[in-house]
Structure 1
Amino acid sequence: MAPNEPADRTSPYADDPELHHVDARTLRGLAHPLRIRLLNALREFGPATASGLADRLGESSGATSYHLRQLAAYGFVEDDPERGKGRERWWKAAHTGTVFGAAADFTHHADPEVRGAIGVVLHEVATTHAQELNTWLGTMHEWPDEWQRAMDISDFKLRLTPELALELVGKLHEVMSSYRGRVPDDTEGAGVVRTHLHMFPRSTD
């Protein structure tokens, strides 16, 4: 998803109307691999019809149409009446990104359906991240040298408390947010950059 901000950091995302803040109810509406792919496609490539999305994703138009209606029922997508003509129905993403609460809000939820839903969503996000990175590695030779020098694949090992880990991710999110809107769309040589942030503890046994 683009972007996905899986955290309860109230800054800098709390008051951003362009972000959809997911709760236990709306999480159920998103927890399907095709729905996540549809939402990602609308956010990345812009408005489309169910048949257009079916062609892009290799799915049937019946399946994309059904799941688009489900996404609309939970507020993730909406009609784009400026493009729709006659019986042709166009869809667009209702927000530019999605913000999840703290994972524990869902993994410890009393409703088992909610606990299962967060697992579906997070695993699909992780799969998407891996696919995007592998696509870049397979095509990076096609990009100018400047972009190849600017890419980064790093990992770090730190000893932290949960409180410090939360603080660190919050600061990293603030840095990312500070770069939004700095480059106009028509800037020569600019491109859309995807940054994945993964933070998780590991056993030392």
Structure 2
Amino acid sequence: MPDEPETSSQPPTGPTRRPTRRIDARSLRGLAHPLRMSIFEAISLDGPATATGLAERLGANTGTVSWHLRHLAEHGFIEEETGRGTKRERWWRRTGVPNELNTADFRDDPSTRGALSVYLHELVGQYFNRVTDYLNEDWDDGWRAAGTVSDWHDLRLTPDQLGALNAELMAVIARHTPVPTPADDADVDADPAALPVVVQLQSFPRRAREHGTP
């Protein structure tokens, strides 16, 4: 799966993919906690933050948030932004390499089954909340027309075909993803009309049910 971290059963391959860090069992257990995932999401979406700012945003205790920040840093998801802040107020940012979590790595490991379940349920909840926020917010006609919440349910594919479909879609997204630049130059060429955009790709098989079957 992508970047929150990226999660997949068969991660796509090809020249368009950026280098990633494969999440192992220890890192998965380090991330799979509701508050830690909320902290990681906030930093991923909106950039560096302090424990105080995150606590206000998430409605949590500052000391508790500080502990979870250190835990995320220990497992390589975030790092301190050196040269900013004070000894009492540290700033934290995402590490530069995207994470990749392959669910197949943990399918037969009883010791990680609980952590994987927590992670996946929290991640789906985050995806749902982002869509709900978009629908509830007041956007002008241009942005409202450009956004989409769509689904297609009439495909019939083999596992290989579904994997190929996902790889093609991710390649399209990669072509629209800017190449990472140093923080000081990140906004030099940005279009003033541009806003952060979230792309949520969800594709999975569905078991057919006969009419009348619960």
Which band: TM-score by shorter chain?
A: 0.7 to 0.9
Cα-to-partner distance string for 1:101-157 (whole Å, 9 max, x where unaligned): 2x2222222xx2312111111111110111010111111xx2221111111111112
Q: Give the number of aligned pairs.
A: 197
CA distance in 1, matches of 2:83, 2:63: 23
Q: How far has the Cα of 1:12 moved from its partner?
A: 5.2
Q: With structure 2 as the length reference, what TM-score do the two structures score?
A: 0.84
Q: Which range moved further: 49-58 or 83-92?
A: 83-92
- Equivalent-residue separation in structure 2 for 1:164 and 1:194 (angstroms): 25
Q: Structure 1 unaligned runs (5+)? A: none
Gaps of 5+ in 2: 180-185, 210-214
Residues 191, 14 of structure 1: alpha-carbon distance in 2 compared, 3 angstrom cutoff: closer
Do 1:20 and 1:95's aligned partners in 2 also have CA atoms closer than 8 Å? no
Question: By how many angstroms is 1:174 displaced?
Answer: 0.9
TM alignment of 1:2-151, pairs within 5 A: 4-7=5-8, 8-11=11-14, 15-16=18-19, 19-95=20-96, 97-101=98-102, 103-109=103-109, 112-139=110-137, 142-151=138-147
Query: What is the CA RMSD across the aligned residues, in angstroms?
Result: 2.0
Matches within 5 A, 1:152-191: 152-157=148-153, 158-181=155-178, 185=187, 186-191=190-195
TM-score norm. by structure 1 comes to 0.87
Identical amino acids, percent of aligned pairs: 39
Q: Measured at CA, do residues 143 and 114 of structure 1 come closer, stay the same or move farther in structure 2, by a change above 3 Å?
A: same
Alpha-carbon contact 1:76-1:95 (below 8 Å) kept? no
Instruction: Note if contact 1:22-1:100 (Cα within 8 Å) is conserved in structure 2.
Output: yes
- Residue identity in the other structure for 2:117: G
CA distance in 2, matches of 1:2, 1:55: 25
- Residues 136 and 3 of structure 1: is their aligned pair in 2 closer, same or farther, counting only changes over 3 Å? same
